């Protein structure tokens, strides 16, 4: 199907070629022109062509488009209960971009860069520059990880850790491997979904050499995001023995429908990816129009349980500041 012959451009080139304005994005899709919303200044449009190619032209309701196109509703800044730090991350920042909220695992904000800008992102307001994780080769975070002997897992997050170049990932992995109590490293990344050629043999070889067990948690919200290019790169990871889980966010107008969620989960398990979490939206300023009622979410999960094998049904969770884990919604 589709692009079989030509090999893709490098992932760095893909980043450079990404669409960076809502006006251009609308034009390229044959949609009516609209002036860019104010919110686009603070959180610009960023859509790689690899992702763009999966969006249907001339359809303002396309579920992939809705995830990435800035719209006027984002400018409604004062919505009750929505804020710039909805999950209380700032209170859990320990050192140099390291978040230690949960027992046994800590999360490192490795970079502010992503391979796509998701309009509902809970870190769209995150002060990446102030937390200073990128500087000093993560020295403060590494020092913290070494001293916190209860930890056996480190989560590399961001932003997206796979926007770091291989040399940087290699150095970071080496530092982590030298910390004796760590056993696992987990990549929280949307890159395999948006710029799948980021998954290279070279990257996989580095991860396989590690004494740390590697897990991947990717992020797709709709089956249409999982095209052949994406599925073949996910298969490379899984064939290399790296487990891949998926987390999705429940989004109004994107996937708040039993049929759509069932086809996402089915496509994932058909290709050996485990549905992990379905997240209730984090209430970040500018994303209120994406929110789905928890009652609706519960009904959707009940419907999935009727239709799918147990392992194909994600756990429906919400992130609550101050809790010792994600909170399960039942
Ligand atoms: C979500 C999250 C984790 C990972 O939680 P799991 O339930 O283990 O997937 C870890 N640390 C922070 C700060 C998180 O937000
Ligand atoms: S890839 Fe993840 S961190 Fe980056 S904008 Fe999307 S949801 Fe946010």
Tell me if the bond preceding 159 is cis, omega within 30° of 0: yes
What is the rounded distance in angstroms from the CA atom of residue 251 to the CA atom of residue 248?
9
Please report the pLDDT score of residue 7 as a whole number. 87
- With respect to residue 106, please indicate whether it lies within any of the assigned structural domains: yes
Cα distances from 282 to residues 83, 112, 143, 178, 253, in angstroms, run 9, 18, 30, 35, 16
Identify whether 85 is part of a domain: no
Q: Please check whether residues 127 and 259 belong to one and the same domain.
A: yes
Would you say the CB of residue 118 lies under 6 angstroms from ligand 2?
Answer: yes
Same domain, yes or no: 291 and 255: yes
Q: Which of 117, 192, 193, 250 to mutate to test the pocket of ligand 2 (most atoms within 8 A of CB)?
A: 117
Output the pLDDT for position 212. 98
Report yes or no: 71 and 61 within 8 Å, Cβ to Cβ: no
Q: Among 49, 75, 101, which residue terminates a domain?
A: 75
Query: Residue 247: inside a domain, yes or no?
Result: yes
- The two structure tokens encoding residue 191: 């890159």
Closest CA to ligand 2's atom 6: 118
Does residue 283 have its Cβ closer than 6 Å to ligand 1? Answer: no
Same domain, 104 and 40: no
173 Cβ contact partners less than 8 Å away, ≥ 6 residues apart? 185, 206, 207, 210, 212
- Cβ of 156 less than 6 Å from ligand 1: no
Alpha helices in 59-213 (DSSP H): 65-68, 89-92, 128-131, 139-147, 166-177, 191-194, 201-209
Same-domain check for residues 216 and 307: yes
Q: Looking at the domain assignment, is residue 82 inside a domain?
A: no
CA distance 304 to 229: 27
CA of 184 to the centre of ligand 2 (A): 22
* Ligand 1 center–CA 19 separation, angstroms: 31
- Looking at residue 305, which CATH number applies to its domain? 3.20.20.70
Sign of the torsion formed by the C-alpha atoms of 245, 249, 255 and 258: positive
Query: What are the tens digits of pLDDT across the range 51-102?
Result: 999 999 999 999 999 999 999 999 986 778 888 888 888 777 887 899 999 9
Q: Residues with Cβ < 8 Å from 205, sequence gap 6 or more?
A: none
pLDDT score for 96: 82
- Measured in whole angstroms, the distance separating CA 154 from the mean position of its chain's CA atoms is 16
Instruction: Using the mean position of ligand 2's atoms as its centre, give its distance from the Cα of residue 118 in Å.
Output: 5
Q: How high is the pLDDT of residue 129?
A: 64
Dist. CA 160 → ligand 2 center (Å) = 7
Length of the chain: 330
83, 283 Cβ separation under 8 angstroms: yes
Output the pLDDT for position 1: 46
Residues 246 and 295 in one domain: yes
| Residues 29 and 139 reside in one and the same domain | no
Kindly give the distance from the C-alpha atom of residue 106 to the centroid of ligand 1, in angstroms, as a whole number: 8
Q: Are residues 36 and 185 in the same domain?
A: no
Residues 282 and 158 grouped into a single domain: yes
User: Which DSSP category does 226 fall into?
Assistant: -
Asked whether residue 1 is domain-assigned, the answer is no
Structural domain including 43 reads: 11-75
In a domain, residue 6? The reply is no
Residue 2 is assigned to a structural domain of this protein: no
* Residues 154 and 69 reside in one and the same domain: no
Instruction: Note whether 195 and 70 are same-domain residues.
Output: no
Residue with the two structure tokens 């990257």: 203
Q: How far apart are the first and last CA of the chain?
A: 40
Contact 329, 298 (CB under 8 A): yes
64 plus 164 within the same structural domain: no
97 vs 108: CA distance, rounded Å: 6
Q: What is the C-alpha to C-alpha distance for residues 330 and 327, in angstroms, rounded to an integer?
A: 10
Number of domains in the chain: 2
Burial readout 304-319 (b: 16 or more C-beta within 10 A, e: otherwise): beeebeeebbbebbbb
- Name the residue with tokens 């290709």: 271
User: pLDDT tens per residue, the chain (330 residues)?
Assistant: 444 557 899 999 999 999 999 999 999 999 999 999 999 999 999 999 999 999 999 999 999 999 999 999 999 867 788 888 888 887 778 878 999 999 999 999 999 999 999 999 987 877 766 665 566 679 999 999 999 999 999 999 999 999 999 999 999 999 999 999 999 999 999 999 999 999 999 999 999 999 999 999 999 999 999 999 999 999 999 999 999 999 999 999 999 999 999 999 999 999 999 999 999 999 999 999 999 999 999 999 999 999 999 999 999 999 998 899 999 999
Give residue 133's pLDDT: 54
Domain closes at, from 24, 48, 75: 75
Does residue 217 belong to any structural domain of this protein?
A: yes
Tell me, using a 6 A CB cutoff, whether residue 188 lines ligand 2: no
Q: Are residues 104 and 232 in the same domain?
A: yes
Beta strands, E only, the chain: 93-95, 98-102, 105-109, 153-157, 184-188, 213-219, 244-249, 274-279, 315-318, 327-328
Find, among 100, 91, 129, the residue nearest to 112 by Cα.
129
Out of 45, 75, 105, a domain closes at 75
């Amino acid at each position: 199907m589709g692009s079989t012959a030509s090999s893709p451009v490098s992932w760095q080139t893909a980043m450079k070629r990404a669409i960076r304005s809502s006006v251009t994005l609308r034009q390229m899709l044959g949609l009516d022109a609209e002036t860019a919303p104010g919110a686009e200044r603070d959180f610009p449009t960023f859509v790689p062509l690899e992702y763009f190619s999966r969006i249907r032209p001339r359809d303002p309701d396309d579920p992939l488009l809705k995830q990435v196109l800035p719209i006027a509703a984002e400018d409604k800044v004062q919505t009750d209960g929505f804020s710039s730090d909805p999950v209380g991350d700032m209170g859990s920042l320990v050192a140099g971009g390291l978040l230690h909220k949960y027992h046994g695992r800590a999360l490192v904000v490795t970079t502010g860069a992503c391979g796509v800008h998701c309009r509902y992102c809970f870190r769209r307001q995150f002060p990446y520059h102030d937390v200073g994780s990128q500087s000093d080769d993560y020295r403060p975070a590494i020092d913290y990880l070494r001293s916190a002997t209860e930890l056996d897992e480190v989560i590399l997050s961001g932003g997206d850790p796979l926007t770091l170049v291989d040399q940087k990932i290699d150095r970071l992995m080496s530092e982590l491997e030298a910390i004796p109590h760590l056993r696992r490293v987990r990549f929280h990344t949307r890159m395999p979904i948006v710029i799948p050629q980021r998954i290279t043999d070279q990257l996989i070889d580095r991860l396989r050499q590690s004494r740390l067990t590697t897990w991947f948690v990717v992020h797709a919200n709709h089956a249409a995001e999982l095209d052949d290019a994406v599925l073949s790169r996910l298969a490379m990871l899984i064939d290399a023995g790296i487990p891949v889980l998926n987390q999705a966010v429940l989004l109004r107008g994107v996937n708040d429908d039993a049929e759509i969620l069932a086809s996402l989960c089915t496509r994932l398990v058909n290709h050996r990816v485990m549905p992990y979490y379905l997240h209730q939206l984090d209430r970040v300023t500018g994303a209120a129009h994406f929110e789905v009622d928890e009652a609706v979410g519960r009904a959707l999960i009940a419907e999935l349980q009727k239709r799918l094998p147990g392992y194909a049904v994600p756990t429906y969770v919400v992130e609550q500041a101050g809790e010792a884990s994600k909170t399960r919604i039942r």
